[in-house]
């Protein structure tokens, strides 16, 4: 296994390595708060979208719950999965009505 090989050959403990070396990098857009000074000298906060490089595990739910905008959706991963399942079911139901005109007549 790779962990044993790294340790026995090079003395490297895989679990101690930074995420950048274990999982790679992901480039995403993030919204951050920035201080803005208007013409009168008043300071306020605004959101600004910036490009960020994140070193993390994108397979686990934590990433997707923190960054649902990556998929263009809002909500937790479980909520997005439920919405996706509902869309699939609605599409299947629609296809069944197309295949069975009698069922379509009954639905109307």
Report the 10 Å Cβ neighbour count for 8: 9
Q: Can you give the pLDDT of all 108 residues of the chain as single tens digits?
A: 788 999 999 999 988 988 888 888 899 988 888 899 999 999 988 888 899 999 888 888 888 888 877 877 666 667 767 777 787 787 778 777 777 666 555 555
The model's pTM is: 0.49
Predicted pLDDT at 103: 54
What the block records as the tokens of 41 is 């000298």
User: Rounded distance, CA 81 to CA 88, Å?
Assistant: 11
Q: Which residue(s) pair with 39 in the sheet?
A: none
List phi, psi (to 5°) of 92.
Answer: -60, -40
DSSP assignment, residue 75? S
């Amino acid at each position: 296994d790779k962990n044993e090989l790294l340790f026995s050959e090079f003395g490297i403990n895989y679990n101690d390595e930074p995420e950048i070396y274990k999982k790679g990098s992901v480039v995403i857009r993030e919204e951050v708060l920035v201080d803005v000074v208007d013409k009168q000298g008043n300071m306020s906060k605004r959101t600004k979208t910036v490009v960020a490089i994140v070193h993390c595990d994108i397979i686990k739910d934590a990433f997707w719950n923190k960054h649902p905008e990556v998929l263009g959706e809002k909500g937790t991963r479980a909520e997005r999965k439920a919405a996706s399942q509902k869309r699939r079911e609605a599409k299947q139901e629609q296809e069944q009505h197309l295949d069975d005109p009698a069922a379509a007549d009954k639905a109307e």
